[in-house]
């Protein structure tokens, strides 16, 4: 990070001038202490002269010590390779790590974060946002824009392999048999099983009609194979006609809604549903059969091809401003907004869920924040960062030099006065 380009601004120039003024003041005060120390030797010796000398020496030493301490933070005093100087440039990485840890552990604490979130009224903010049509549509468009990227990720080879392993286990367990049983029971209770049977019978009947001639020849040939050519020629056609007629008669018997065959079919399918629901062995058999089917390479390829076509259709619709995806998401968001406005419990549940989610993620987030701060500071240019930090805190540090010089001067005089009072003038 380069902050040097920001120095041209007015605030930076003014800060640099202020730093120069305070540094000059601290240095001038140090020179005054040095002058007083030297000048005290030229004055006639007296108690006052000795007091001035002791105070000036203490002020000079205090000023020099504080100048060294302040300078050692940012650079080597007088350019000398003194140990433990130029602290900020030398310890930039460690300072960044320590700062990151401090912010993560003492600023983003669970209690502080929970307190801030509790004051935000998240449910109210979200409710007002989603109840605004323009805001809800913007949010729906944003979510729809994420859909293509999310779906594109599933085209990754790893995603395909994982899906190929998960789907058979997901749909091929014992629970899948129970799910199928419940679906079948709902269809049976609604009479849909009879509709399915009617459709199947119609397809069989249509197939028999359209392929009647070929079926007759096939039956006649089978009769000839087992009874000889002469018998086959004599009765083959008659047998074929009788077989097809019998099949059609049986199909016609199953046609009426109240036929015995349909009643038997209903009893059979209800019995199978009961077995699936209450017999774990039967449910496991169905699940195993589904797992074998879905694990087959041909089925996997077909499912993936269906998914690819569906994905392309969803992606195309998600990018359309008036597509079904945006309208669907917009409707969901509006419903959420109305629910939050009308149901106070829903708002409380939302805030509880947010609190729980943040509480679960906070440890990893704090760790990531600490690493982020440390990495950012480690990547800064050392010279520029040192100069910028000195510019921002240097004025206050010059007050440390000024105070050290003045306090040293006063303490030196007080100590000399006390010792003189105790031990006499010749101390």
- Does residue 171 contact residue 180 with C-beta atoms inside 8 Å? no
- For the stretch 225-247, pLDDT in tens is 555 454 444 444 565 566 656 66
The predicted model gives 105-117 an average pLDDT of 78
The 3-state DSSP composition of the chain as helix, strand, coil percent (nearest 5) reads: 90, 0, 10
Which pLDDT does position 242 carry in this prediction? 64
With cut-offs at 50, 70 and 90, classify the pLDDT of residue 409: very high
Instruction: Give me Rg for the CA atoms of the chain.
Output: 45
Provide, rounded to the nearest whole percent, the portion of the chain with pLDDT above 90. Answer: 11
**What are the helix (H) ranges across 255-343?**
260-278, 280-295, 297-318, 324-342
- The residue ranges of every structural domain in the chain are 4-90+381-423, 156-296
| Residue the block writes with tokens 């000795």 | 50
How many Å from the N-terminal Cα to the C-terminal Cα in the chain? 58
The separation between CA 384 and the C-alpha centre of its own chain, rounded to angstroms, equals 34
- Residue 253 phi/psi, 5-degree rounding, is -65, -30
Which pLDDT does position 8 carry in this prediction? 47
Greater pLDDT, 154 or 59: 59
Average pLDDT, the chain: 75
- Does residue 415 contact residue 57 with C-beta atoms inside 8 Å? no
| Range 41-79 burial, b when 16+ CB lie within 10 A, else e | eeeeeeeeebbbbbbbbbbbbbbbebbebbbbbbbeeee
The predicted model gives 58-86 an average pLDDT of 87
With cut-offs at 50, 70 and 90, classify the pLDDT of residue 407: very high
The predicted model gives 1-23 an average pLDDT of 68
Which pLDDT does position 1 carry in this prediction? 43
The predicted model gives 106-125 an average pLDDT of 76
Greatest mean pLDDT among 39-53, 212-226, 257-271, 282-296: 39-53
Distance (Å) of CA 288 to CA 175, 280, 294, 299, 400: 11, 12, 10, 15, 80
The predicted model gives 381-403 an average pLDDT of 83
- Does residue 223 contact residue 239 with C-beta atoms inside 8 Å? yes
The predicted model gives 15-37 an average pLDDT of 90
The predicted model gives 95-121 an average pLDDT of 80
Lowest mean pLDDT among 132-146, 169-183, 392-406, 410-424: 169-183
pLDDT at 326 over 90: no
Q: Does the model's pTM come out above 0.75?
A: no
CA-based angle 275:280:285, to the nearest 5? 85
Lowest mean pLDDT among 34-38, 68-72, 234-238: 234-238
């Amino acid at each position: 990070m380069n902050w040097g380009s920001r120095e041209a601004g007015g605030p930076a120039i003014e800060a640099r001038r202020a730093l120069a003024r305070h540094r000059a003041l601290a240095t001038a005060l140090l020179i005054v202490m040095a002058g007083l120390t030297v000048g005290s030797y030229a004055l006639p010796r007296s108690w006052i002269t000795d007091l001035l000398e002791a105070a000036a020496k203490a002020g000079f030493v205090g000023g020099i010590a504080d100048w060294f301490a302040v300078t050692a933070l940012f650079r080597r005093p007088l350019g000398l390779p003194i140990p433990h100087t130029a602290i900020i440039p030398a310890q930039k990485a460690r300072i960044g790590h320590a700062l990151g840890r401090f912010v993560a552990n003492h600023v983003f604490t669970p209690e502080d974060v929970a307190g801030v979130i509790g004051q935000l009224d998240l449910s109210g903010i979200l409710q007002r946002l989603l109840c605004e049509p323009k805001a809800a549509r913007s949010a729906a468009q944003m979510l729809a824009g994420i859909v293509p990227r999310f779906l594109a990720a599933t085209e990754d080879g790893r995603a395909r392999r994982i899906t190929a392993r998960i789907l058979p286990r997901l749909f091929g367990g014992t629970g899948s048999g129970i799910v199928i049983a419940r679906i079948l029971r709902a269809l049976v209770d609604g009479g849909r099983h009879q509709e399915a049977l009617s459709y199947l019978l119609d397809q069989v009947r249509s197939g028999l009609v359209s392929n009647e001639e070929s079926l007759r020849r096939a039956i006649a040939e089978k009769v000839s194979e087992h009874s000889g050519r002469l018998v086959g020629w004599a009765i083959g056609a008659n047998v074929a006609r009788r077989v097809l007629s019998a099949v059609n008669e049986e199909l016609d018997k199953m046609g009426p809604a109240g036929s015995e065959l349909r009643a038997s079919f209903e009893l059979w399918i209800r019995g199978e549903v009961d077995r699936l629901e209450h017999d774990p062995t039967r449910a496991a058999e169905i699940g195993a059969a589904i797992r074998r089917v879905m694990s087959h390479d041909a089925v996997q390829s077909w499912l993936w091809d269906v998914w690819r076509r569906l994905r392309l259709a969803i992606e195309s619709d998600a990018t359309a401003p008036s597509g079904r995806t945006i309208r669907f998401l917009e409707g969901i968001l509006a419903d959420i907004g109305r629910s939050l406005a009308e149901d106070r419990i829903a708002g409380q549940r939302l805030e509880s869920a947010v609190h729980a989610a943040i509480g679960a993620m906070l440890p990893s987030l704090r760790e990531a924040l600490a690493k982020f701060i440390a990495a950012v500071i480690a990547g800064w240019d050392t010279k520029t960062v040192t100069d910028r930090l000195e510019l921002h805190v240097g004025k206050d540090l010059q007050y440390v030099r000024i105070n050290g010089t003045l306090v040293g001067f006063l303490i030196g005089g007080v100590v000399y006065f006390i010792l003189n009072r105790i031990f006499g003038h010749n101390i």
